[in-house]
Amino acid sequence: MPTVTDLMISARGLRKSFGRPGEELEAVRGIGVDVRRGEAFGFLGPNGAGKSSTMRMIAAVSPVSGGELRILGLDPARHGPAIRARLGVCPQDDTLDVDLTVRDNLYIYGRYFGIPKGEMRDRADELLDFVQLTDKARAKVDDLSGGMKRRLTIARSLVNRPDLLLLDEPTTGLDPQARHVLWDRLFRLKQSGVTLVLTTHYMDEAEQLCDRLVVMDKGLVVAEGSPLELIRTHTTREVAELRLGVAAVGETHDALAAQVSDLGERVEVLPDRVLVYGHDGDEVVAKVHERGIQPAAVLVRRTTLEDVFLRLTGRTLVD
Amino acid sequence: MDAAAGLSVREGLGRLADYWVVVYRRTWRGSVISSFASPLFYVLAMGVLLGGFIEADPDTLEGATSYLAFVVPGLIAAHAMQTAVGETTWPVMSMWKWNPVYPSMLATPLTPTHVVTAHLGFVAFRLATTCAVYMVVVAPFGVFESWWGPLLAYVAQVITGLAFAALVYAFTVRISSEEAFGVLFRLGVFPLFLFSGAFFPIANLGEVGAWVARATPLWHGVNLSRMLALDHVTWWVAGVNTVVLAALVVVGWRLSVRGLTRKLVA
């Protein structure tokens, strides 16, 4: 059982609603979450699941509508400035000042925390080095690539040496190289003892970075655990993908699915393939062939967090 | 200051000072040209060239010995209003819409009270410099009657600007689209600029019109600025003018803090 001081974030029945009384929109509908010191914790969920609303409440910039929330053991309604003094925030949309240079963005932001000028100058140089932007120190923010801007935002979120770092979709819109550089920096921060809380809808990112995570859907937590636990609990070890080509108009692959439904724990029908979830994918494929079914191609793979995610939150498009 | 209770306003302003110094360093060149050029153009066109056609008894010009002397103090008060409105419309909206600096400020221990006060403080500084430049530019035209009058008039002009800055800031944080600024300029700023007594005595508007003019914030600024500059002061009226302007500053500031809180801390 974690002690109270180990709890960086503790939420019970946490709610957030927007709009006028009577016609509120409930973005977060009663969630319970504990984040311990030193862990990397993820909020996963499709768009509109309530991740960003939750993050804004944790960042102490959005009042709680209901339930209880403690950040670093403090109540955000009463101790907002004290909490924010110890947080690092990397928002979903870059809020860098495009009119300032890269270095000034760090310097000015550090001054908001009351860091003395001389100390902040040194710290800005250290942070630029940490995010590999030293040679861009005098550049305008507008001249940076998307990946560089994100790195600068991360550097900026570290100016006050935070105990808790909040990252809202840190790698959305970045190319693979930029994502890996960013992950590497986040690993290092984690190693140095910073507690990370991030939202993402990239499953590989969650698997790479998170010790523990919750899956949110429609304002509620629908699953919680380590990536491995979630995979074990919510899906099988492997999946056999039977690729069949796109079904003709008005037809589906349901008939075929019926023929293989006993081969796995669960069968999912998609427009171009049938997924059979089982413990041994190769065995599933062998039995499919024994029954005289000849898919255009087969693929046996380990299940991932993405399978869990789609199972829990559905394949319907969320806008 | 107790860390749990947050930062004092003074402490917060200190932390925001560097930001506004950087902003000023970046923008002062552009503002210097307009600070010098526009007063000069206005004084030449309205005061000297148009005013040359106007022969009037000082009694009908609220005590001014020439139209130039009449129009200058009002013009500067009106100019303060325009500067204030210019500084609190697009530049304020930009702070969350086009270059979201406010959200980054509010992610730190700073609060909307600090953010609003620092921004209005910057506008006050801009008003203080532009009005000072204006006064210096017009001084050689011999329009002032005493040495202390223009100094007090200058303070009145800055407060006039600040009242508009606070009110328009409160307006800007309550709208979602910049299209509303068009309405503000057409129905607010231009009518005030033209009919608040800057260019002609409000007595010319007739009994009812004069009272309507007296109900507008700009008239209080124009009247105070002119009375002081011409050394033709009715002190109880000056007191009313000052109280009204100061009250507008306070009310506008409070509405601004509340509006920004609703907009960004929701």
Determine, for residues A59 and B107 on separate chains, whether the beta-carbon distance falls below 8 Å: yes
- For residue A21, what is the DSSP state? T
Q: Do B110 and A81 lie within an 8 Å CB cutoff?
A: yes
Inter-chain touch A114–B6, beta carbons under 8 Å: no
Among A64-68, A216-220, A290-294, B175-179, which is the least confidently predicted range?
Answer: A290-294
- Residue A208: pLDDT over 50: yes
Chain B partners of A87 at a C-beta cutoff of 8 Å? 107
Q: Does domain A236-302 have CATH number 3.30.420?
A: no
Residues A281/A238, Cβ–Cβ less than 8 Å: yes
CA atoms within a 13 Å half-sphere pointing along the CA-CB vector of B177: 4
High-pLDDT (> 90) share of chain B, %? 76
Do residues A217 and A313 touch, judged by C-beta distance below 8 A? yes
Closest Cα in chain A, distance from residue B14 (Å):
8
Cα–Cα distance measured from residue A41 to residue A275, given in angstroms and rounded to the nearest whole number: 30
Mutate to test the interface with A, among B7, B15, B104 (most CBs of A within 10 A): B104
Q: Which residue of A has its CA nearest to B108?
A: A84
* A211 in Cβ contact with A226 (< 8 Å): yes
pLDDT at B97 over 90: yes
Beta-ladder partners of A241: A275, A299
**Widest CA span in chain B:** 66
Q: What is the mean pLDDT of residues B115-128?
A: 97
If one counts the domains in chain B, the total is 1
For residue A247, the model assigns a pLDDT of 63
**Least CB-CB distance to B103: which of A78, A91, A99?**
A91
Residues of B in contact with A98 (CB under 8 A): 99
Asked whether the predicted pLDDT for residue B4 surpasses 50, the reply is no
Give A270: exposed, middle or buried? Use CB within 10 Å, 0-12, 13-18, 19+. Answer: middle
Chain segment B159-173, per-residue pLDDT in tens:
999 999 999 999 999
Residues 90-109 of B with CB under 8 A from A: 99-101, 103-109
What is the band of A249 on the pLDDT scale with cuts at 50, 70, 90? Answer: low
Maximum mean pLDDT: which of A298-307, B38-47, B227-236: B227-236
What pLDDT score does B106 carry?
Answer: 97
Instruction: Note whether B30 contacts A: Cβ–Cβ < 8 A.
Output: no
Q: What is the pLDDT of residue B2?
A: 41
Whole-number pLDDT of residue A61? 96
Smallest CA-to-CA distance from A70 within A82, A58, A62, A61 is with A58
Residue A111 has pLDDT above 60, yes or no: yes
pLDDT at B143: 84
Cβ atoms within 10 Å of B47's Cβ, excluding its own = 22
Instruction: Calculate mean pLDDT across residues B119-139.
Output: 94
Name the pLDDT band for A203 (thresholds 50, 70, 90): confident
In a domain, B38, yes or no: yes
Of B19, B100, B109, the CB nearest to A81: B109
pTM value is: 0.90
Tens digit of each residue's pLDDT (9 = 90 or more) over A39-54: 999 999 888 899 999 9
Residue A213: is its pLDDT beyond 50? yes
pLDDT above 60 (res B46): yes
Confidence bin at B3 (pLDDT 50/70/90) = very low
B6, B26, B100: residue with CB nearest A81: B6
Q: Would you say residue B57 has pLDDT above 90? A: no
| Residue closest to B74 by CA, chosen among B192, B243, B235 | B192
Residue A251 has pLDDT above 70, yes or no: no
pLDDT over 70 at B5, yes or no = no
Look at residue A317 in the predicted model and tell me its pLDDT.
Answer: 61
Residue B161, helix vs strand vs coil: helix
Would you kindly state where each structural domain of chain A is located, as residue ranges? 4-232, 236-302
CA distance A136 to A121: 15
How many Cβ pairs within 8 Å bridge chains A and B? 81
| Alpha-carbon dihedral A55, A56, A62, A68, rounded to 10 degrees | 10
Q: What is the mean pLDDT of residues A18-45?
A: 92
- Backbone torsion region of residue A302, taken as left when φ is above 0, otherwise alpha when ψ lies between -120 and 50, otherwise beta: beta
Query: Residue B3: inside a domain, yes or no?
Result: no
Report the pLDDT value the prediction gives residue A308, as an integer from 0 to 100: 86
Report chain B residues whose CB lies below 8 A from the CB of A82: 3-4, 6, 109
- Residue B1: pLDDT over 50: no
Confidence grade of residue B128 (pLDDT, cut at 50, 70, 90): very high
Has residue B2 been placed in a domain? Answer: no
Contact B265 A63 (CB under 8 A): yes
Q: How far is A211 from chain B (nearest CA, A)?
A: 26
Domain of residue B86: give its range. Answer: 9-264
Residue B1 lies in a domain: no
pLDDT digits (tens, 9 = 90+) for B172-184: 999 999 999 999 9
The closest CB to that of B3, out of A82, A109, A111, belongs to A82
Superfamily of structural domain A4-232: P-loop containing nucleotide triphosphate hydrolases (3.40.50.300)
pLDDT tens digits, B61-95: 888 888 999 999 999 999 999 999 999 999 999 99
CB contact under 8 A, A114 and B105: no
User: For residue A57, what pLDDT is reported?
Assistant: 97
In a 3-state reduction of DSSP, which class is residue A201?
coil
Percentage of residues of chain A with pLDDT beyond 90: 61
Domain for residue B111, yes or no?
yes
Mean pLDDT of chain A: 90
**Cβ contacts (< 8 Å) between B19 and chain A: which residues?**
108, 111-112
The strands making up A7-18's β-sheet, listed across from edge to edge, are: A25-36, A7-18, A66-71
Q: Decide: B232 and B207 in contact? Cβ < 8 Å.
A: no
